[in-house]
Amino acid sequence: MLKQFFLLISIAFSSLFCVYAQDEVVMEINGNQVTKSEFLQIYLKNNDDPKFDKTSLDEYMELFKKFKLKVAEAEALGYDTVPKLKRELEGYRKQLALPYLIDSSENKAMVAQAYERLKTQVRASHILLRLKPTASAEDTSKAYFRLMELRERIVNGEDFALIAKSKNSSEDPSVVTNGGDLGFFTAFQMVYPFEEVAYNTAVGETSLPFRTKYGYHILKVTDRRKARGTIKCAHLMVASPAESSAEETASAEKKINEIYELLQDSLTDEKWKNYVLKYSDDPSSNRKGGELPIFGTGTSQRMVPVFEDAAFSIESNGAISKPVKTDYGYHIIRRIEWNDLKSFENMEKELQKRVNKDERSKKTQDVFVDKLKKRYGFIEGDAKYKAWFVENLDSSFFIGNWTTDKLKVDQVMFAIGEKNYRQTEFAKFLRKSFRTGRGKDFQTIVDTQYEQWVKQGVLAYEESMLAEKYPEYKALVQEYHDGIILYEIMSDKVWNKAVKDTTGLKAFYDLQKTKYMWPERVEATVYICATSEVSDKVFKMLKKKKNNSRLILEEINKDSELNLDVKMNKYVQSSTAFLKGKTFLEGRNEGYEFENKYYVVDVSKMLPEMPKELSEIKGAVISDYQNHLETYWMKELVDKYPIKVYDDVLYNLGPNE
């Protein structure tokens, strides 16, 4: 939600340009000035088609003032000093810094590698033994050698899937159903270390054990093929989950086959959408023609292999597949659009962003750190200062109780630029790693942690100068700073307050009750029939007082699952298309046709106009109450923080200024 919130408050940007000495002031708030160049930059950044007429500038200034008032109040109340929010901002700041802390040439090579891998799909099976990052050397060794034993059996000809599913083998929960088979994948669809091994293992070969953040794996590459590109498709699904009875599964299969036969005759976009809306059991897609996210080469979206294979086997846009069975049910898939892999030139920027966010970026940092050391004059301290830790660590280290009481002089272990890093700082860093050191000797612990500490220190030094070197980075950090504290104060003063203040909410609802009215409604059971003959039959069954909807449904659908559908609800007649303009009486009503369907409406009660209960309309009431709270809060802020807008400057912000 926070990221969505940043979009809503996109006016929260700091100036990207230097403020000149003669820069005019366009606004003052609580003594703080906003200059013309700063405001103009913000205005241009937040308007794709900027206008400089009085009306447009006034509208934007009103938004800007509200934003500035809220930020001023948040800072006055110390939100920017709250530890939780400071940690959150620090997390975002480090994410924003990552693209600036990589070696550009190495990074380009990683982008090129990713593109080459996108051209080929690899199919692999794996066995996973889970390990926490803090696992002891003993546990790590056990996992490694256990996988080596399993690998030897596989190399000697035993079936990979049987071994993967056997006792004391793979700890990937999906192994029960897939035997370790992960299907086909390309770059970015697995964690990078896994991808790296998969693309460097020949078909039919089984890798040596390797480590990812999930634990130790071995994998066997079972196939390679040219990447199939990306596909956008839609589906119509008849639900039949794995726990369905044989009778339910047979009914679902019969229904999907009937729908398939009907769709084959003169399939149009309109017909497809109507059938999906009418029959599909996927609530996330049935109101948008069954459309699914794009999947295939390089996308983050993956489908189960049988679904993907069926989708990519469809030869033309608009065509459909035969019914396909997955663990979720039966599907008819319709191809909307297929695209081959784009050229490198068209994908380079997108790939760059993905590499920067991926584990690949960490691989380039070692090269970058070496360059930074040379650039800023890195100086290594005497080796004896590091050796002191090897000599003075003891068993208390492994339980987190080790101290530096024996340290007589706090020596500099390394220096970069103007910054010195001392032994006490390394000791603090070292103590945090006590869990990862179990089972390792002191020399290994010190060497490993010292290397990480140096790398972290060098990158931190470069990071400390990013705001000075890159104005766009400084602006982004400021944006996140303002966004975080603004989100928090809005939660406290408006959003959460409206939710938690049940007494105030109820009082607000009571005063506004007539705003939330149900119009006249009918409480009814609606029988939606495929033909007029079915409609007549349902009407007659109701006449005989056989008004059990379940029994009627079973009897009518005895020969076809498509004959009848039944819905029970309280309907607003004026806004329900198939009821609008009709006259109904309590009890059964004569059938009628609407948009090629036939309806029989059995009315149990006519409901007069009445206020909606708070429980029925709570979301809308909370939203209105939030607006009410914000309006009064803004009045308080206007009185609290004086604002002065210099209209003569504001109205001269034209492009030639």
Using the CB atoms, write b or e for 504-526: b if 16+ within 10 Å. Answer: ebeebbeeeeeebebeebbebbb
What is the spatial distance between Cα 600 and Cα 563, in angstroms, rounded to a whole number?
Answer: 13
Identity of residue 261 = E
pLDDT at position 18: 34
Q: How confident is the model at residue 54 (pLDDT cuts 50, 70, 90)?
A: very high
Q: By C-alpha distance, which of 501, 522, 518, 519 is closest to 617?
A: 518
What is the spatial distance between Cα 231 and Cα 296, in angstroms, rounded to a whole number?
Answer: 6
17 pLDDT above the threshold of 50: no
What is the spatial distance between Cα 582 and Cα 58, in angstroms, rounded to a whole number?
Answer: 50
Which comes out higher in pLDDT, residue 315 or 15? Answer: 315
What's 79's DSSP letter?
A: G
Q: Please check whether residue 411 lies inside any domain of the structure.
A: yes
Q: Which two tokens stand for residue 105?
A: 């040439």
Q: Which two tokens stand for residue 421?
A: 């890093």
What mean pLDDT do residues 354-378 have?
A: 86
Q: Please check whether residue 557 lies inside any domain of the structure.
A: yes
- Residue 385 CA, distance from chain mean position: 46
pLDDT at position 258: 94
Q: Which two tokens stand for residue 448?
A: 């490993």
257 plus 328 within the same structural domain: yes
> For residues 376 and 417, is the Cβ–Cβ distance under 8 A?
yes
pLDDT at position 545: 62
Q: Which two tokens stand for residue 437?
A: 């050191």
Which comes out higher in pLDDT, residue 198 or 15? Answer: 198
Q: Please check whether residue 307 lies inside any domain of the structure.
A: no
Q: By C-alpha distance, which of 118, 248, 128 is closest to 181?
A: 128
What mean pLDDT do residues 469-492 have?
A: 88
205 plus 275 within the same structural domain: no
Q: By C-alpha distance, which of 156, 150, 129 is closest to 140?
A: 129
Which comes out higher in pLDDT, residue 433 or 393? Answer: 393
Q: By C-alpha distance, which of 358, 418, 322, 419 is closest to 193?
A: 358
What is the spatial distance between Cα 399 and Cα 438, in angstroms, rounded to a whole number?
Answer: 9
Q: 121: part of which helix (H) or strand (E)?
A: strand 120-130
% of the chain beyond a pLDDT of 70: 95
What mean pLDDT do residues 601-630 have?
A: 93
582 pLDDT above the threshold of 80: yes
Residue 168: partners with Cβ closer than 8 Å, 6 or more residues away: 146
Q: What CATH number is given to the structural domain containing 544?
A: 3.10.50
Burial of 46 (C-beta count, 10 Å sphere; 0-12/13-18/19+): middle
Rg (Cα) of the chain, in Å, rounded?
33
What is the spatial distance between Cα 585 and Cα 602, in angstroms, rounded to a whole number?
Answer: 9
What is the spatial distance between Cα 275 and Cα 561, in angstroms, rounded to a whole number?
Answer: 13
Q: How confident is the model at residue 242 (pLDDT cuts 50, 70, 90)?
A: confident
139 pLDDT above the threshold of 90: no
For the chain, helix (H) and strand (E) counts, in that order, are 25, 21
Q: What CATH number is given to the structural domain containing 139?
A: 3.10.50.40
pLDDT in tens, 495-520: 998 889 999 999 999 999 999 999 99
pLDDT at position 625: 94
127 plus 184 within the same structural domain: yes
pLDDT at position 3: 46
380 plus 439 within the same structural domain: yes
Q: How confident is the model at residue 39 (pLDDT cuts 50, 70, 90)?
A: confident
- Name the 3-class secondary structure at 175: helix
201 plus 158 within the same structural domain: yes
Q: Please check whether residue 365 lies inside any domain of the structure.
A: no
Domain's final residue, options 464, 494, 528: 464
391 plus 335 within the same structural domain: no
Question: Torsions phi, psi of 430, nearest 5?
Answer: -65, -40
> For residues 529 and 563, is the Cβ–Cβ distance under 8 A?
yes
137 pLDDT above the threshold of 90: no
Q: Please check whether residue 402 lies inside any domain of the structure.
A: yes
502-512 and 614-640 helices, crossing angle to 10°: 100
What is the spatial distance between Cα 395 and Cα 406, in angstroms, rounded to a whole number?
Answer: 15
Terminal Cα distance for the chain, rounded: 38
pLDDT at position 657: 43
34 pLDDT above the threshold of 90: no
% of the chain beyond a pLDDT of 90: 67
pLDDT at position 210: 95
Bridge partners of 420?
A: 415
218 plus 240 within the same structural domain: no
532-543 and 549-556 helices, crossing angle to 10°: 140
Mean pLDDT of the chain: 89
128 plus 198 within the same structural domain: yes
pLDDT in tens, 396-425: 998 888 999 999 999 999 999 999 999 999
pLDDT at position 244: 87
Q: Please check whether residue 95 lies inside any domain of the structure.
A: no
Burial of 573 (C-beta count, 10 Å sphere; 0-12/13-18/19+): buried
pLDDT at position 655: 61
pLDDT in tens, 62-85: 999 999 999 999 999 999 999 999
For tokens 């006034």, name the residue.
58
267 plus 287 within the same structural domain: yes
Domain tally for the chain?
Answer: 4
What's 406's DSSP letter?
A: T
Boundaries of domain holding 529 = 517-611
Domain's final residue, options 574, 594, 611: 611
161 plus 212 within the same structural domain: yes
DSSP alpha helix (H) spans, 77-191: 83-97, 104-118, 137-155, 160-165, 175-178
Q: Please check whether residue 501 lies inside any domain of the structure.
A: no
What mean pLDDT do residues 316-331 have?
A: 95
Q: Please check whether residue 657 lies inside any domain of the structure.
A: no
Q: How confident is the model at residue 254 (pLDDT cuts 50, 70, 90)?
A: very high
Least confident window among 32-41, 439-448, 590-599: 32-41
Which comes out higher in pLDDT, residue 134 or 426? Answer: 426
Q: 403: part of which helix (H) or strand (E)?
A: none
Q: How confident is the model at residue 528 (pLDDT cuts 50, 70, 90)?
A: very high
> For residues 251 and 559, is the Cβ–Cβ distance under 8 A?
no
211 plus 242 within the same structural domain: no
458 plus 386 within the same structural domain: yes
pLDDT at position 355: 87
Least confident window among 11-15, 282-286, 521-525: 11-15
What mean pLDDT do residues 541-554 have?
A: 81
What is the spatial distance between Cα 134 and Cα 332, in angstroms, rounded to a whole number?
Answer: 47
Q: By C-alpha distance, which of 5, 1, 72, 10 is closest to 475?
A: 10
**HEC assignment per residue over 445-490:** HHHHHHHHHHHHHHHHHHHCCHHHHCHHHHHHHHHHHHHHHHHHHH
26 pLDDT above the threshold of 70: yes
What is the spatial distance between Cα 110 and Cα 193, in angstroms, rounded to a whole number?
Answer: 13
Using the CB atoms, write b or e for 238-274: b if 16+ within 10 Å. Answer: bebeeeeeeeebebbbbbbbbbbeebeeeeeeeebbe
Bridge partners of 656?
A: none
Burial of 128 (C-beta count, 10 Å sphere; 0-12/13-18/19+): buried
